[in-house]
A and B are shown apart, each in its own frame.
Chain A
């Protein structure tokens, strides 16, 4: 009796295995993509509804199904709390049948979720955060850092500004790991290009009055005031700099400025600012087409992270299709073979450490006279070629990089 049971079990197992290669394998009959973003807090506009819609658009444009299975998009709010984000990611991977988590605005959350993804062997794509840890100590075959990172921002804006003659720098840095990391990256670039950092002021997060710091920056006589913060902090810092006339003798370099921040500042205050972004809605016919569709759904223009949400979701789905399975390791291998050619970038590819390599762009904010329509804010200054835009693979501390 026992023996016959064993035999029948073995037989059925063999049957199951023999069925493997014949049909596309998708566990639980659905490919589920989770958008883990800030739906209620300060980064809501940068990620939030726009991120969810971008991923949904990608799923729809892909046809709604992959390998004959439905593509399902779910979303959750990490409330900018790493513990909440990590818990949600765990739950999604453990019981929610989520195959990929996208967006991940907020560095703390992205780091926490990267740890979970490595443990659970499921995919994440980071678009909303700049933390270098994703492609260094936290790297895994399952994490891709797609849109931008601290290195590319620092090297984009920092290098361009130094080359234009801005040799002495003063930093206004948000007193958070994010800001301090950005400041260090840019400082390295400045020093490497024979520039000098003459000082820095570290301000707490959510500082509303920057006048004191601007005064310090003016007293430093630095040619460049580097603003190592983002969102409301960066906007308030730039406003104060303009108000105190700092822009007459000094130049501002915003190290992470979003299109929404330019919108908040208004062109009279923002004009002339240099910034690095991976993508801008008015680059070419494809980007404009995407932006228009996005605008109709969300009511504002997409930023680089949201465009990357769309592009990276497409990329993932294409990899699933090419791999013929939702097995994370096979998809991971495919994603490292395929190239991305879409409205986000041309010939983008993923390196061993999970960095998605593509061109970055240096932009300048238009003057009110140059701007012809709402959201017509940026003009291109320079293209930072993909090979120079990101941390060289040789510097990555990621153990997956063979040295």
Chain B
């Protein structure tokens, strides 16, 4: 059996791989969506933090002999703390201004971070081995799936669900949602909104770094690894509907699959297809697939 000239088995394989990539996008877009939802900041530095996550893991591994698992836990915290610092010192000053300023400020940060790593570590990359526990492949019959890729899907699903749970089912999440809707009223109820903003930015950045550590064994670690990623992920968030967390997660997986199939049928366009989808969605469903029209 064939689908448009591609055997069914290969087709299934491509869909699974698309989901793996979608899982990455999901972890990245979650952070981006939360940050935009609450701070109204387009965090253009998301890709740079993704790269920084991979690099910090690499540095910790080389100099402190930190293993993969400890890196996976510590790196998001380290990079997240940097995010907190950035929010406190810089981002804070531009709240309430047009979102374009947030985009520009973080764009400047991208240049600084990427340039910095390039000066310090050179432009070509460094190897990052996958953890020994997750090496090898599973033979699914129609394809071989590296264990590590399966692990990535699993982790991404857990992270998405955990984020959803925190936002929808916990007290902090309730504050967060309240602050997103009406920051002034939330503050009037005595909730420390500035702290909430800081923590949100820190966690969003931490998620990006987490994705970076996840990606390090699949790619290698190099300064431009996140530079084109950010516009793709941001497109996903826009398609899903700015501020809609589940929307971003679902769109991420969907787009991962669309991108994967494009790689089979018209591979040259695989990095462009996301923009085609975004243009179409925005013109047909102005607020994105899962977003609400804003006034």
Contact = CB atoms under 8 A, between A and B. Distances in A.
Judge A-B direct contact (beta carbons within 8 Å).
Answer: yes
Interface string A290-322: 000000000010000000000000000000000
Nearest to B269: A204
Contacts of B18: 212
B280 to A, nearest CB: 20
A206 interface: yes
Nearest to B114: A40
A204 B268 contact: yes
Interface stretch (B66-74, B177-185, B218-226): B218-226
How many chain A residues sit at the interface, stated as a range, is: 35 or more
B40 interface: no
Interface in A219-240: 219, 231-232, 235-236, 239-240
Interface in B11-55: 13-14, 17-18, 20-21
Given A212-B263, A244-B146, A236 B268 contact: no
Given A201-B267, A215-B10, A209 B118 contact: no
A325 B188 CA distance: 83
Given A219-B10, A236-B219, A265-B220, A207 B137 contact: no
A261 B267 contact: no
A266 B129 contact: yes
Contact of A207 (B130, B264, B271): B271
Given A204-B270, A215-B143, A245-B144, A209 B218 contact: yes
Contacts of A288: none
Interface in B240-285: 260, 263-264, 267-272
B230 to A, nearest CB: 12
A244 B118 contact: no
Contacts of A268: 127, 129
A239 B268 CA distance: 21
Contacts of A65: none
A263 B122 CA distance: 12
A269 interface: yes
B23 to A, nearest CB: 11
Interface in A193-213: 201-204, 206-209, 211-213
A384 B130 CA distance: 37
Contact of B137 (A41, A42, A245): A245
B124 A46 contact: yes
B123 A48 contact: yes
B120 to A, nearest CB: 12
B115 interface: yes
A249 to B, nearest CB: 11
A268 B271 CA distance: 30
Contacts of A261: 124
B209 to A, nearest CB: 17
Given A45-B122, A211-B149, A213-B267, A232 B127 contact: no
Contacts of B14: 212, 215
9 contacts: A175-B267, A175-B268, A209-B21, A209-B219, A213-B263, A215-B13, A232-B220, A243-B148, A244-B146
